[in-house]
């Protein structure tokens, strides 16, 4: 047999007989790392420890405490849960079971409903499988052999997935009697799964399409230690205690009623007062920052949305058009085309720029009923929107101004921790690559000059431009998307916006789209949960009560009040 040389990033290197597994190699290269490893990177590709390298390679250890290791743990626990379901519900057919943020899920096609009480039974079988320390065994099959295997088991969902795979070979993983179609990687064995909890069961359409059958989705989570799991479960319980839907009802702030329609908020007097206080503060600070306020309609001719590109790129999130006197009109999903039309209503000079216009504009977006969630996901909401029209030489300064105003306003509401993302050009977009590069560079430079730590989020820009997204962190450490700052060369071009330059020639302005709080509805939901309903005094709908202790004190109490 031949030999291969394998090295670690630490510089450790050794030569092995061909046929050795990564686990065996790590024992020789670094026994301490070998104990920590749950998976590895083989020349950059994430693989199981049972994988056998065929050529000289660089190995990187993936430990349970790393983000990748945590994902492997949760993916493996999803398979463990599926194996337990297979034992308890022999008629079950299996969909997919990925790791997700904070946990995992698996979709099942079952003839009988799984209830919350069944979760305890499934957990007990999972614990028994953990105690048996059963290996996750990877096997490579031809696509046809895999089809034969899953056809014999009546796994129609797996066969559908196989029908979309173009590779000639696929991998399956066996865990005891349970076999699953999966790319992996997985833990070496079930004994590595130390702390898990099944959380809930819900309905989910197969492949996310309501045209398909409704499956049962079991959610769970897993952590490297029981202490980490307990801390997470405490946070979940605390989040339930702070749920804005319950607190909003108890505090009489708002309601959502079937007669009006799902996803549409009815503000009660106390909630309307809190909202007014937020709006007044927002308006005052925008006036100080040199913005002027606008008001625009709730509908416009469909042609406006065609020209802006929304109808082409955003149609699935828009309501169906309505016909008025033979002309199609559309509920606005965005405010920007109206601000553009106001800009275009007269000739602009370079001396007029920058123009900063802000609007608390109510917009309407079609959200499927299954994703609606209190104030956080709605169909009608008010956006704290603003658009800046500026010259190229003003762009950097305007981005600085938006960043400064953003951090000031968010801090005023008690948010001091943030995650900042720079979202770059998506696959489906408009405008020239040169303009995209210029816009991305302007946003990046502004972040770096303000020494704000950020991560690049490739391909997550909007169709007309790149953006900065600011996610605030609440008291439980949860991140919430609020602020977005977008540089746009494309809509000014689509609407042929111009200004007269100092050279007497016409030039195209640059447009900055930005929202700081995002949706007022969503922001208030975040505030309620952040403060567990006990809003700061300046936002509280009831700040003080005067309580007389006897009838003879009423007149004095009225005076104090």
Maximum distance among all Cα pairs of the chain, rounded to whole angstroms = 103
Question: How many C-beta neighbours within 10 Å does residue 465 have?
Answer: 26
- pLDDT of 17 reads 84
> Of the candidates 386, 381, 419, 384, which has an alpha carbon nearest to the alpha carbon of residue 486?
386
Under 8 Å between Cβ of 381 and 534: no
Where do the domains of the chain lie?
3-63, 68-241, 253-296+335-530
Both tokens of residue 317?
């999130």
The SS3 call for residue 3 is: strand
Quick one: three-class SS letters along 168-223?
A: CEEEEEEECCEEEECCCCCCCEHHHCCEEEEEEEEEEEHHHCCCCCEEEEEEEEEE
Question: Could you check whether 3-63 and 68-241 share the same CATH topology?
Answer: no
Tens of pLDDT along the chain (561 residues)?
Answer: 578 888 888 888 888 888 888 888 888 888 888 888 999 998 888 999 998 888 888 888 899 889 999 999 999 999 999 999 999 999 999 999 999 989 999 999 998 899 888 999 999 999 999 999 999 999 999 999 999 999 999 999 999 999 999 899 999 999 999 999 999 899 999 999 999 999 999 998 898 888 899 999 999 999 999 999 999 999 999 999 999 999 999 999 999 999 999 999 999 999 999 999 999 999 999 999 999 999 999 999 999 999 998 898 888 889 999 999 999 999 999 999 999 999 999 999 999 999 999 999 999 999 888 788 999 999 999 999 999 999 989 998 999 999 999 999 999 999 999 899 999 988 888 777 888 888 888 899 999 998 999 999 888 888 778 999 999 999 888 899 899 999 988 889 899 999 999 999 999 999 999 999 999 999 999 999 999 999 999 999 988 889 999 999 999 999 988
Q: What DSSP line would sit under 26-59, residue for residue?
A: HHHH-HHHHHHEEEEEETTEEE-TT----S-EEE
The span from the CA of 528 to the CA of 539, in Å, is 11
Candidate CATH numbers 3.30.930.10, 3.40.50.2000, 3.40.50.1950, 3.30.70.20; the one for domain 253-296+335-530: 3.30.930.10
Both tokens of residue 125?
């079988």
Which phi and psi (to 5°) does residue 494 adopt? -60, -35
Q: What is the DSSP letter of 543?
A: -
Under 8 Å between Cβ of 139 and 174: yes
- pLDDT of 32 reads 86
What is the layout of strands, in order, in the sheet containing 37-42?
13-17, 3-7, 57-63, 37-42, 45-47
Q: pTM of the prediction?
A: 0.81
Kindly state the helix (H) or strand (E) to which residue 117 belongs, with its residue range. Answer: helix 116-131
Which is it for the CA torsion 422, 425, 428, 429, positive or negative? positive
> Of the candidates 453, 474, 468, which has an alpha carbon nearest to the alpha carbon of residue 516?
468
Under 8 Å between Cβ of 384 and 406: no
Question: How many C-beta neighbours within 10 Å does residue 281 have?
Answer: 15
The span from the CA of 119 to the CA of 84, in Å, is 10
The span from the CA of 336 to the CA of 332, in Å, is 10
The span from the CA of 480 to the CA of 146, in Å, is 42
Under 8 Å between Cβ of 487 and 395: yes
The span from the CA of 137 to the CA of 140, in Å, is 10
The span from the CA of 139 to the CA of 441, in Å, is 47
- pLDDT of 34 reads 84
Under 8 Å between Cβ of 194 and 140: no
CA angle 365, 490, 504 (to 5 degrees): 135
Spell 481-490 as b/e; 16+ CB within 10 A means b.
ebbbbbbbbb
Under 8 Å between Cβ of 508 and 228: no
The span from the CA of 487 to the CA of 468, in Å, is 9
Query: Which residues are registered as beta bridge partners of 336?
Result: none
Q: CA 104 → CA 66, 222, 544, distances in Å?
A: 17, 8, 46
- pLDDT of 460 reads 84
**Which residues are catalytically annotated?**
336, 365, 383, 385, 387, 467, 513
Candidate CATH numbers 3.40.640.10, 3.10.129.10, 3.30.980.10, 3.30.350.10; the one for domain 68-241: 3.30.980.10
CA count, 13 A, side-chain hemisphere, 408: 13
β-bridge pairing 327-331 and 93-94? unpaired
- The hierarchical CATH code for the domain 3-63 is 3.10.20.30
The span from the CA of 206 to the CA of 212, in Å, is 6
Quick one: three-class SS letters along 279-313?
A: HHHHHHHHHHCCCEECCCCCEEEHHHHHHHCHHHH
The span from the CA of 150 to the CA of 365, in Å, is 41
């Amino acid at each position: 047999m031949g030999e291969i040389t394998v090295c670690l990033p630490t510089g450790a290197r050794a030569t092995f007989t061909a046929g050795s597994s990564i686990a065996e190699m790590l024992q020789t290269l670094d026994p301490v790392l070998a104990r920590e490893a749950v998976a590895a990177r083989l020349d950059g590709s994430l693989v199981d420890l049972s994988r056998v390298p065929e050529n000289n390679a660089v190995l990187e250890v993936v430990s349970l405490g790393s983000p990748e290791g945590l994902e492997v743990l949760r993916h493996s626990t999803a398979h463990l849960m599926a194996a337990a379901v297979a034992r308890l519900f022999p008629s079950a057919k299996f969909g997919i079971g990925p790791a997700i943020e904070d946990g995992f899920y698996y979709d099942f096609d079952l003839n009988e409903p799984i209830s919350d009480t069944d979760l305890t039974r499934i957990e007990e079988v999972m614990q028994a499988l953990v105690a048996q320390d059963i290996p996750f065994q990877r096997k490579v099959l031809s696509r046809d052999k895999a089809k034969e295997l899953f056809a014999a088991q009546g796994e129609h969902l797996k066969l559908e997935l196989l029908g979309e795979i173009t590779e000639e070979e696929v991998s399956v993983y066996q865990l005891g009697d349970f076999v699953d179609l999966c790319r992996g990687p997985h833990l070496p064995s079930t004994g590595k799964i130390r702390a898990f909890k099944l959380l809930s069961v819900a309905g989910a359409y197969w492949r996310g399409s309501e045209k398909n059958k409704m499956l049962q989705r079991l959610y769970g989570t897993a952590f490297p230690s029981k202490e980490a799991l307990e801390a997470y479960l405490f946070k979940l319980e605390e989040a339930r205690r702070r749920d804005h839907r319950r607190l909003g009802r108890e505090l009489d702030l708002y309601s959502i009623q079937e007669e009006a329609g799902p996803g549409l908020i009815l503000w009660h007097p106390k909630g309307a007062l809190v909202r007014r206080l937020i709006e007044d503060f927002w308006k005052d600070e925008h006036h100080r920052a040199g913005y002027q306020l606008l008001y625009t309609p709730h509908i416009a001719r469909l042609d406006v949305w065609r020209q802006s590109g929304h109808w082409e790129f955003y149609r699935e999130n828009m309501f169906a058009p309505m016909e008025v006197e033979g002309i199609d009109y559309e509920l606005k999903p965005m405010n920007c085309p109206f601000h553009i039309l106001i800009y275009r209503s007269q000739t602009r000079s370079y001396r007029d720029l920058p123009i900063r216009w802000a609007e608390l504009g109510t917009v309407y977006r079609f959200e499927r009923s299954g994703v609606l969630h209190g104030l956080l996901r709605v169909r009608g909401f008010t956006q704290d929107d603003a658009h800046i029209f500026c010259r190229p030489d003003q762009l950097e300064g305007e981005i600085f101004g938006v960043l400064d105003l953003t951090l000031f306003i968010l801090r005023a509401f008690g948010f001091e921790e943030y995650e900042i993302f720079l979202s770059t050009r998506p696959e489906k977009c408009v405008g020239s690559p040169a303009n995209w590069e210029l816009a991305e560079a302007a946003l990046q430079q502004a972040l770096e000059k303000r020494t704000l730590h950020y991560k690049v989020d490739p391909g997550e820009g909007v169709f007309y431009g790149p953006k900065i997204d600011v996610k605030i962190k609440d008291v439980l450490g949860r991140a919430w998307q609020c602020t977005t700052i977008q540089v746009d060369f494309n809509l000014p071009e689509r609407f042929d916006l111009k200004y007269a330059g100092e050279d007497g020639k016409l030039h195209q302005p640059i447009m900055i789209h930005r929202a700081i709080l995002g949706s007022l509805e969503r922001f208030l939901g975040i505030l309620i949960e952040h403060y567990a309903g006990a809003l700061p005094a300046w936002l509280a709908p009831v700040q003080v009560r005067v309580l007389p202790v006897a009838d003879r004190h009423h007149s004095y109490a009225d005076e104090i009040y």
